[in-house]
Amino acid sequence: MAIKITRPQGTEDITPKQIYKWHTVERMARETAENFGFHEMRIPTFESTDLFLRSVGETTDVVQKEMYTVKAKETEFTLRPEGTAGSIRSMLQNGLLNDALPQKIFYILSCFRHERPQAGRLREFHQFGVEMAGSAGPASDAEIIALAKAILDRAGLKNIALNINSIGCPTCRAEYHKALRAYFQPHRDELCETCQTRLEKNPMRILDCKSEICSGIAKDAPVILDYLCDECRTHFEKLQEYLKAQNIEYTINPKIVRGLDYYTKTVFEFITTDIGAQGTVCGGGRYDGLIEQMGGKPTPAMGFAMGLERLILTMESQGCEFQPPHQCDLYIAPMDEAAIPTAMQIASSLRTSGYQVEYDLMQRKLKAQMKYADKIGATFVLVLGENELQSQQANLKNMKTKEQFPVSLGEKFEEKFDDIAIQYMFHDVVNDFEKECGTHGSNE
């Protein structure tokens, strides 16, 4: 008996009907990052589990509750829950940090976290992320935030708030941890089991525990901004000056601590209220200690990642535009088998020139072929029957305007098709322009 197998909970299929949205956001993000001088990197989907324990941190929710880990031939691997650890591992392994600094890379990748699925929260999701290694100053923090903002602006998003905070360096963190322990100690027994162990090891992690009781208790906890050392405070003030210089609006949100252990100093998130509870579209920050901790020379670094599902959801909810997919330029309808070789030759030569061409592969009658051409949104249709083959003359039909153009088959066909297609495309652009600006344009 056949068994119907469905996709695992918390995963999504991206069908050909939706893929244009993904192509739109990936193209936008890629081009914008390239404008800022970042270059693409590709890394493995799984890494040694140790990499994430040591970078993301043993007391984080991601490591303690959410990783997909498998043991294969005595070695433990984990499906990447995020992109920073793998990118930094790759930079070190490939000697990229010996090249000119700062190293500026971006990636588009799938991530895996075993979380409770809900709108905007998946077990397999996709990130566009950037990492910049080598620069310590607050101008690079502003540059990273400006890049994230440029991508969100280019997507056409409105109503997305930038929240920034500083979570200090190991020096100020030590004082802050003392204050947190003192605050949480009286509530020790109310905390979840994981947070009880965090109280000793890493009390800051209690602040982003998803349990309602822990987050309720954490509401009035001391904030790190009150414990920053002079260097971290100056860094944070300078960052704000640079954001203002670029007219980037922000809110200081002392509650943002981020859920990963590697951060130091600046952290930030872009948050929308348009897609429900999971409204953080982009998160990032500085991580000055990570590279050294992973065996490299001390090298400051900073980055962010945006969730592509959340970005697309927000764009959809705000009615932002996606670049429509390229549809069939020419559908060739052979009326019988004898016309198929000619259809193949025309398709082959036009495809080489970059046109999207299809012909009937289903031995359908002409009426059904026309219906199919309409369904796939073909711009032009060329019907090939006995008469057309004999006379080497046919009619090219524009499916939208219903205009017919007499064309010769054979060598001259491609040239003529080019002319007609370019005229039509031009006509379409003018039409769109007139729709946007009014038929007679404007005098301004």
Find the part of the chain contacting ligand HAM (CB under 6 A) among 30-38, 115-123, 208-216, 356-364: 115-123
Lay out the site mask for ligand HAM across 301-320 (x = CB under 6 A, - = otherwise). Answer: --xxxxx-xx----------
Find the part of the chain contacting ligand HAM (CB under 6 A) among 25-33, 114-122, 332-340, 400-408: 114-122
In the complex with ligand HAM, the residue whose CB is nearer, 78 or 127, is: 127
CB of 309 to ligand HAM, least distance (A): 5
Identify the residue among 57, 86, 129, 334 touching ligand HAM (CB under 6 A).
129
In the complex with ligand HAM, the residue whose CB is nearer, 205 or 310, is: 310
CB of 388 to ligand HAM, least distance (A): 53
Lay out the site mask for ligand HAM across 130-169 (x = CB under 6 A, - = otherwise). Answer: -x--------------------------------------
Touching ligand HAM, residues 63-102 (CB under 6 A) = 82-84
Lay out the site mask for ligand HAM across 231-260 (x = CB under 6 A, - = otherwise). Answer: ----------------------------xx
In the complex with ligand HAM, the residue whose CB is nearer, 122 or 357, is: 122
In the complex with ligand HAM, the residue whose CB is nearer, 43 or 306, is: 306
- Residue 347 sits in the site that holds ligand HAM (CB under 6 A): no
Count, residues near ligand HAM per rule CB under 6 A: 27
User: Which residue number is nearest to ligand HAM in terms of Cβ?
Assistant: 307
Identify the residue among 80, 89, 113, 149 touching ligand HAM (CB under 6 A).
113
Task: Give, in order, the Cα–Cα distances in Å from 26 to each of 120, 287, 384, 435.
Answer: 18, 25, 40, 28
Find the part of the chain contacting ligand HAM (CB under 6 A) among 33-41, 123-131, 181-189, 314-322: 123-131
CB 303 within 8 A of CB 84: yes
Where on the chain is the footprint of ligand HAM (CB under 6 A)? 82-84, 113, 115, 120-122, 125, 127, 129, 131, 259-260, 280-285, 303-307, 309-310
